[in-house]
Structure formats: C-alpha cells, structure tokens
Amino acid sequence: RFRRLPKDTAYPEALTKLERALEACRRDRKVEPTVLAVRRSLNVLRDGLTLLRRMETDLSDQAIDLLRQAEDVRNLTWPSLDAVGASDEARAAASALAAHLTTERPWEDAAELVPRLELLRNEYRARRRAVLDAHANEVDVAIDRLKRRTGFERLDPDQRHQVLRHLREGAAPTTDERAIVPALEALETLLATRREVAEGKARAQLDALLEALGETPVVEVALNVSGREVESEAELERLLDEIRRRILHELAAHHRVRVR
C-alpha cells in the first residue's frame, strides 16, 4: 500500500529501523544471542511494530486515494489557479494541503483533506467555467454578426450551415471546467485565437458564396496602425490621407472593403 502513495512520501524511519533490528535479531540461530539482540532492539521493535499496526488501519484504500487526489490538486490544479489569482480561502487551503502532504505520516487524518480539496476544485472549476461561458457568448455574438451581414439571407440552408459551422465547430473549446489542459491561465487567450481563426474562415466562405451570387467582392485592407505614434495634427492628417487613399483605391475597383 505504501508504494501506491504519492512518490515523494518519505518512508517512515521507524520502519527502516525495524527492518535493521529484525535482521540483527535473526542473524544468530542460537537462543542467547537472539534474546540479547531482541533486548537491545526492544524500543525499536516496539515502535516499528506499533507503527505497522497503525498503518494496517490508517493506510486504507480511501486514505491512499485522498492523498493521490491531493497530490494532483497540488501539482496540477493549484498552480493554474494561483496564476490567475486565487482567493484567500483557496490559498489557505492549498497551504494546508501542501503541509499535510509533507508530514511524516500523511495517511493519518487524511479525511481532513476532503474540504480543502473540494474548495480548491470548486474555485478552479468556477474560474474555468466562467472563461468557457464568456467564450460561448462571444461565439454567439460572432454568429449573430455573420447572420446580420448583408446578403446572408440570400444563402440557402446548406450554405448557411457551411458558413456558421466554422464558428459552431471550429471555435468549440474541446475542454470543460474539470480539465487541466489547456492550462487555466492560457485558456482565455487560446479560445480567443480559435474564435478569431474560425470567424475569419466563416467570413471568407461567406464572401465567396455571396460573390458567386453576384454580390460585390470584399477585399480586406490591413491598416497596420497598431503602435504607430502621432505627434501633431499634420501627422494625423497624413495618416488619415493614407488610409483614405487605400480604401478609395479598392472602392474605385468596385470592391467592398473590410478593414482590419
């Protein structure tokens, strides 16, 4: 049973001493040397055997399972929760859990871990669920944006499905609140990227379908103004003129312009 405990659980020193004492007591087959060896090792034998008896009852399958769960929460769940800002209650629970796992005999009073495990799991899952719910709402907003696009109503049901499936399927999170991958601290960014890619594919397909139906072609124009500094009104006018020229060029070619 001890081998099933978390790998960093220290082997009890009392059992190590007991093993050495038993070897010493059985080294000589004669009665007198054996009795003398037992007498010299009496305290060690008593402590070791007492611990063995306690372990027979305390080191239960339930205690082992709780300790392995605690190890998983400490190593996998807590770091992500800590990275996004855990509550004071969660920090106290994580500290108590880590301290319990480093005690000499963590299987004793293992039941005390239950409320701490539940608190940490519940907070982790709530934070993860909030990110997933926000993502689902953003996907719905993106779908509604596509549906309100001029010309969308001209598509037949199969074509509409082809366009919207990019978001409904391509932006699906493929995870839930109980998962540990992707990590909680990276989940929001990863989902935002999935949405962006999925919506881009949906727009591209919608553009192609509408163009086939005779709609004006859509051209994307990247302004690349992020990080650009403007120090004067004259610089602002030059920037606006540059944007105006690029867009007017596409409009003159009878294109619709999508700015990004």
Q: What is the residue-wise DSSP string for the chain?
A: -GGGS-TTPPPPHHHHHHHHHHHHHTS--SHHHHHHHHHHTHHHHHHHHHHHHHHHHHS-HHHHHHHHHHHHIIIIIHHHHHHT---HHHHHHHHHHHHHHTSS-TTTTGGGHHHHHHHHHHHHHHHHHHHHHHHHHHHHHHHHHHHTSTTGGGS-HHHHHHHHHHHHTTT-----TT--SS-HHHHHHHHHHHHHHHHHHHHHHHHHHHHHTTPPPEEEE----TT----SHHHHHHHHHHHHHHHHHHHHTT-EEEE-
Mean pLDDT for 1-28 is: 88
Looking at residues 172-188, what average pLDDT do you find?
94
Q: Mean of the per-residue pLDDT values for the chain?
A: 90
pLDDT at 93 over 70: yes
Q: What mean pLDDT do residues 24-51 have?
A: 86
> Over the stretch 15-35, which tens digit does the pLDDT of each residue have?
889 899 888 888 888 888 888
Write down the pLDDT at residue 255.
Answer: 67
User: pLDDT at residue 161 above 90?
Assistant: yes
The mean per-residue pLDDT over the stretch 105-125 comes to 95
Q: Which of 92-106, 169-183, 226-240 has the lowest mean pLDDT?
A: 226-240
State percent of the chain over pLDDT 90.
Answer: 57
Per-residue pLDDT at 254 exceeds 70: no
| Mean per-residue pLDDT, 110-126 | 96
Region 133-139: mean pLDDT is 97
State residue 183's pLDDT score: 94
Res. 152 pLDDT band, cuts 50 70 90: very high
pTM attached to this predicted model: 0.77
Q: What is the pLDDT of residue 153?
A: 92
231-242, pLDDT tens digit by residue?
898 888 888 888
Residue 111 has what pLDDT? 93
34-43, 127-136, 174-183, range with the lowest pLDDT? 34-43
